[in-house]
Amino acid sequence: MIQGRPAAVSVWLAALGIALAIWWVTKPPPPDRTELLMEAVEHRQLADWTDDDHHLALQAFLRSCARLEALPLESQVGPDRFDATASDWRRPCERGQGLTQANPAAARQFFEDEFVPTAISDGGKAEGLFTGYYEPHYEGSRERIGRYNVPVYGRPEDLVTADLGAFQAKWEGVHLVGRLEEGKLLPFDTREAIESDGLEDRAEVILWLRSAVDAFFLQIQGSGRIRLSDGSKTRVGYVASNGHPYTAIGKELVARGALAEDGVSMQSIRRWLEANSAKARDLMSVNARYIFFRELIGDGPFGAAQVVLSPGRSLAIDTTLIPLHLPVWLETTWPPGSDRPEGATLRRLMITQDTGSAIRGPVRGDVFWGGGREAEELAGRMSEAGQYFLLLPKALHERLAAAREKTQ
């Protein structure tokens, strides 16, 4: 199993220092054009707050607590602007762990006592986009046999990743990804190059799938369950990317006139790819981003928060702007195809436990719907306007409020 990066790479990166960042990024990243505004509100201002099953959200939150408890109390949680540390979650986690019975009313009281609802906006615009994702189920094999001929790669041994924020604060959240070749750092291979030339001499093939379309959507979702040819099952999850930007191929299909703008969904994209196999590879190559995986043992899938995701209760957010492990009150609309009436409101308490390359902005979220066909239908059709409210631990809220008063 190929793991981590060679020791020589780490030494090389340390020696190169800031020059490395300047060589790769020929100019600093553009300034952050978002203006994250926060305003405390009361729980009674959250529409349908008392109608939710808060115990389900509590179970998801306690998974975050297990992760947070493993961190030193002074560990930073989230971007600098929040000044949050693991200690801010200590009291809520200790109290939450004492609520062992499935009592929605007691769970609701817990969230009301321990957290302060905070309205979020992007420069005063409270509405944003909310989509969905899921854990796909596919057929696969550990050996390349018969129709199982599409590789799922582990992390390449020559893949190099560096956090540019370690060199200059203005590059916080910007990561460099490349490969070493004769002492030089070069961009890592694009999707087109990987699929044309392969990586068998540089990365372990952990599984083989039957369909290039399955492999593509596995990468979009970032995790999946695989039923192997011998009848057993396994799970794979994200371990790294090739560092190239994500491009939505649905937009490309619209630009080519292949799909109407209001007809784009995961289901319609898959149908087009499967019906146009001769053009499918060219279209998928428009998205140069490529994902590498590791095999997971036990429960899953795991999100960026390093906790098992909870169907319908875990939310992916932009971690450059919003901390993980926060309760969030989501107000949006059920996606088409659900068992709710068209346009039915979706209002529930969720926990920020994941992120994604397409999730960008203060008011942007991706709902994890679980695994299987029903989850696929919900995730594939969800593209809804909405808003959310962060529930800040009281200690964090009070510290942020005091800091704002000093600047006024």
Cβ 224 vs Cβ 291: under 8 Å: no
Verify that 318 and 401 share a domain, yes or no. Answer: yes
- Which helix (H) or strand (E) covers residue 161, if one does? strand 159-163
**Predicted confidence (pLDDT) per residue in 330-348, tens digit:** 999 999 878 898 899 999 9
Place of tokens 């095999």: 295
Verify that 3 and 79 share a domain, yes or no. Answer: no
pLDDT of 25: 36
* Residue 3 confidence (pLDDT) above 70: no
The domain total for the chain is 2
pLDDT of 355: 94
From 23-27, 84-88, 130-134, 218-222, the region with the lowest mean pLDDT: 23-27
Cβ 93 vs Cβ 365: under 8 Å: no
Verify that 323 and 352 share a domain, yes or no. Answer: yes
Q: Provide the percentage of residues in the chain whose pLDDT is more than 70.
A: 91
**DSSP per residue over 219-282, as a string?**
HHHSEEEEEETTS-EEEEEEEEE-SPPP--HHHHHHHTTSS-GGG--HHHHHHHHHH-HHHHHH
C-alpha 395: how far from chain center? 27
Residue 340 lies in a domain: yes
Query: Which residues lie below 8 Å from residue 235, measured CB to CB, with a gap of 6+?
Result: 223, 224, 225, 226, 295, 296, 300, 301
- Work out the number of other CB atoms within 10 angstroms of the CB of residue 206: 22
DSSP reduced 3-state for 76: strand
Residue 225 lies in a domain: no
Say which CATH number the domain at 103 has.
2.40.40.10
Residue 207 β-bridge partners: 152
Verify that 26 and 166 share a domain, yes or no. Answer: yes
Residue 149 lies in a domain: no
Cβ 212 vs Cβ 194: under 8 Å: no
Verify that 129 and 183 share a domain, yes or no. Answer: no
**Predicted confidence (pLDDT) per residue in 10-38, tens digit:** 333 333 332 333 223 333 344 455 688 99
Residue 17 lies in a domain: yes
Verify that 50 and 198 share a domain, yes or no. Answer: no
Residue 140 lies in a domain: no
Q: Provide the percentage of residues in the chain whose pLDDT is more than 90.
A: 77
Place of tokens 């001499």: 201
Cα–Cα distance between 214 and 137 in angstroms, integer? 9
Verify that 82 and 176 share a domain, yes or no. Answer: no
Give me the sheet containing 137-141, strands edge to edge.
150-153, 205-209, 137-141, 223-228, 233-241, 291-296
Cβ 331 vs Cβ 365: under 8 Å: no
Cβ 210 vs Cβ 274: under 8 Å: no
Cα–Cα distance between 300 and 134 in angstroms, integer? 12
Verify that 26 and 40 share a domain, yes or no. Answer: no
Residue 275 lies in a domain: no
Instruction: Tell me the mean pLDDT in the region 132-158.
Output: 95
pLDDT of 33: 58
Verify that 25 and 162 share a domain, yes or no. Answer: yes
Residues of the domain holding 372: 36-133+302-407
Verify that 346 and 308 share a domain, yes or no. Answer: yes
pLDDT of 34: 67
* Residue 236 confidence (pLDDT) above 90: yes
pLDDT of 231: 93
State the pTM of this model.
Answer: 0.81
Query: Which residues lie below 8 Å from residue 174, measured CB to CB, with a gap of 6+?
Result: 25, 29, 163, 164, 165
Residue 250 lies in a domain: no
Verify that 319 and 306 share a domain, yes or no. Answer: yes
